[in-house]
Each structure stands twice: as structure tokens, then as C-alpha cells.
């Protein structure tokens, strides 16, 4: 079951279009009393697994702590998936978050290169690796989101991103190519370039045959797409990752991961 406890985001990352809906970078919240009333209703109907689809569920430490206290008091045995930035995670609260049922945290890491991140206003403060390790030490699973093809990406900086993903060794990772999403700053940039925008909506789909990511200052879209697809297989094939999957989730899950390697993505755009 998916729920929202807030709308919007106070950040202004250039690749994101969420603030085009709300007009300005800010977050608005439902009261925690209202949120808990929803959880009570769902729990009474047998729902246990809940994904909070807030852009940043983990943003205000005080709100997160109060939420955890209210959930723990109810003793509902719920399982939560939430979204965060590495620099919004209060590591001092991770133990309480785990007790409340936060078992998955999805992190927007985006790039392994600081200059590339900063160029799109994704200015992460602090050390990403220490935050991920702190979560894993509390037995919280981490999903890392990464992007290939940001405006200042080169083959070397995209390799930085893949290297960081392998080093962090999150329980799972999503590898995306950068799309010029309508309403984002990057859409405005791409619209000024010849051939910068996809010719049809299907080309915005990450896994479609006719996917068309943005070009970078240094790379054509086909090269970005080729790197992304190869990086995904390199990540899943990595012995360190497969050992972790076996230890954390067992042989059945590992077999599923290995089965993913047998499926080759077909693309029309080739380098």
C-alpha cells in the first residue's frame, strides 16, 4: 500500500519536475494524527506493508521521531519503505526508526562525482558512505538511486558513480539515465538544443526500446544509454553484491537476481 504524508520538496534539483506541480520548492504535511489514523485503518484491515511516497519522508528529524514514537506506542508490527536524501537522514534516530518498522530507505544519491552533483544543484552535505553504513548497522535495507548522463557527466564521472554504487553495496540499486522531464530545469536546457527532446512520450520510459536520454556536454545519448545498461549488469554480476544478497535474503532471491542477468534489454538507440 502506498501513502503520502506530505506533498512537494524544499529542494530544487535541476533534473526533477516535482516543484512544477506546486509552484515553489516547499513541502506541505498532513498532520501525524491524520497519518496515524490512516495507518490504524489499514492495519485493522490486515495491511502491513506500506510505502510512503513522499518525495522526502525523512526531512524533519522532529517529525520523524514523533512519527516513530506514535507508531511504536501502537505496536502494530508494520513494515515501512521511505525516501530520503543521504544528508536528511538523522543517524541518531535510525535505531528508533527500525523499531517503528522502517525496514527500507530509498536514497537519492544520483552521482558519485561531487562536481557533477553540484552542477545540477544536488548538493549533498556530509559523507554518503557513513550514512549508508549507519543504516545497514541497524539492519535497515538501503536502495540507492543513481543517474547516468547528468549535464557534466563524462565516461570517467559515470565510472565514479558505478564505483560508488559498488562500494556502498546497497541491498538494491536503481540505475537511471537522465531524462529531460517536462517542468524540470533540464527540460528547459534540452528544449534549446537541436534534437534535445524525445520525439514521443515512450522515449521517456527508462526501459523502452526507444528510450532517449539527454546528451551531456561530453557524451551523446547513445553512449550514456550504453554505459547505463552495461553498468547495471556489472553491478548485479559483482561477487561482493551477490554474496551480500545471499547472506541478507537467501538463495531464492539470489537466483532471482542471477535470472535478471539473463534478460538483455533491447534498445533502438545504439552507440
CATH class of the domain defined by 2-260: alpha beta
Return the pLDDT at 211.
Answer: 94
Residue 200 region by backbone torsions, left for phi larger than 0, else alpha for psi between -120 and 50, else beta: beta
Domain positions in the chain: 2-260
168-200 burial, b at 16+ Cβ within 10 Å, e below that, comes to bbbbbbbbebbbbbeebbbbeebeeeeebbbee
Return the pLDDT at 145.
Answer: 98
CB atoms within 10 A of CB 259: 9
Return the pLDDT at 23.
Answer: 83
**Is beta strand 27-29 parallel, antiparallel or unpaired with respect to 6-8?**
antiparallel
> Would you write out the chain's pLDDT as a tens digit for each of its 271 residues?
999 999 999 999 999 999 898 888 999 999 999 999 999 999 999 999 999 999 999 999 999 999 999 999 999 999 999 999 999 999 999 999 999 999 999 999 999 999 999 999 999 999 999 999 999 999 999 999 999 999 999 999 999 999 999 999 999 999 999 999 999 999 999 999 877 899 899 999 999 999 999 999 999 999 999 999 999 999 999 999 999 999 999 999 999 999 999 999 999 987 6
Query: CA-to-CA distance for 182 and 17, rounded, in angstroms?
Result: 7
Contact present, 140 and 97 (Cβ < 8 Å): yes
* Helical spans, DSSP H, in 169-220: 185-191
Query: CA-to-CA distance for 194 and 171, rounded, in angstroms?
Result: 39
For the record, the C-alpha cell of 102 comes out as 522502517
Return the pLDDT at 4.
Answer: 97
Return the pLDDT at 195.
Answer: 76
Residue 17 phi/psi, 5-degree rounding, is -110, 5
Query: CA-to-CA distance for 122 and 107, rounded, in angstroms?
Result: 13
Return the pLDDT at 179.
Answer: 96
Return the pLDDT at 271.
Answer: 63
Q: What percent of the chain has pLDDT above 90? A: 94
For the record, the C-alpha cell of 156 comes out as 570517467
State pLDDT tens for residues 112-171.
999 999 999 999 999 999 999 999 999 999 999 999 999 999 999 999 999 999 999 999
Amino acid at each position: 500500500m502506498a501513502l503520502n504524508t506530505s506533498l512537494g520538496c524544499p529542494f530544487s534539483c535541476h533534473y526533477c519536475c516535482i516543484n512544477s506541480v506546486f509552484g515553489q520548492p516547499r513541502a506541505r504535511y498532513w498532520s501525524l494524527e491524520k497519518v496515524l489514523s490512516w495507518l490504524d485503518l489499514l492495519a485493522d484491515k490486515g495491511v502491513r506493508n506500506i510505502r510512503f511516497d513522499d518525495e522526502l519522508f525523512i526531512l524533519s528529524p522532529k517529525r520523524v521521531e514523533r512519527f516513530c514514537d506514535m507508531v511504536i506506542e501502537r505496536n502494530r508490527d508494520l513494515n515501512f519503505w521511505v525516501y530520503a536524501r543521504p544528508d536528511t537522514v538523522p543517524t541518531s534516530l535510525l535505531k528508533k526508526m527500525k523499531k517503528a518498522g522502517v525496514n527500507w530507505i530509498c536514497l537519492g544519491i544520483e552521482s558519485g562525482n561531487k562536481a557533477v552533483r553540484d552542477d545540477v544543484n544536488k548538493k549533498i552535505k556530509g559523507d554518503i558512505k557513513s550514512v549508508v553504513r549507519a543504516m545497514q548497522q541497524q539492519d535497515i535495507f538501503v536502495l540507492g538511486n543513481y543517474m547516468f548522463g547528468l549535464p557534466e557527466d563524462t565516461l570517467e564521472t559515470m565510472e565514479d558513480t558505478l564505483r560508488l554504487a559498488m562500494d556502498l553495496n546497497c541491498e538494491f540499486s536503481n540505475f537511471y539515465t537522465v531524462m529531460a522531464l517536462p517542468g524540470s530545469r533540464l527540460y528547459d536546457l534540452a528544449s534549446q538544443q537541436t534534437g534535445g527532446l524525445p520525439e514521443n512520450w515512450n522515449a521517456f520510459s527508462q526501459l523502452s526500446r526507444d528510450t532517449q536520454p539527454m546528451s551531456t556536454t561530453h557524451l551523446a545519448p547513445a553512449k550514456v544509454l550504453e554505459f547505463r545498461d552495461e553498468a547495471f549488469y556489472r553491478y548485479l554480476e559483482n561477487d561482493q553484491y551477490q554474496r551480500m544478497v545471499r547472506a541478507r535474503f537467501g538463495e531464492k532471491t539470489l537466483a532471482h537476481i542471477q535470472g535478471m542477468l539473463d534478460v538483455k534489454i533491447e534498445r533502438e538507440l545504439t552507440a
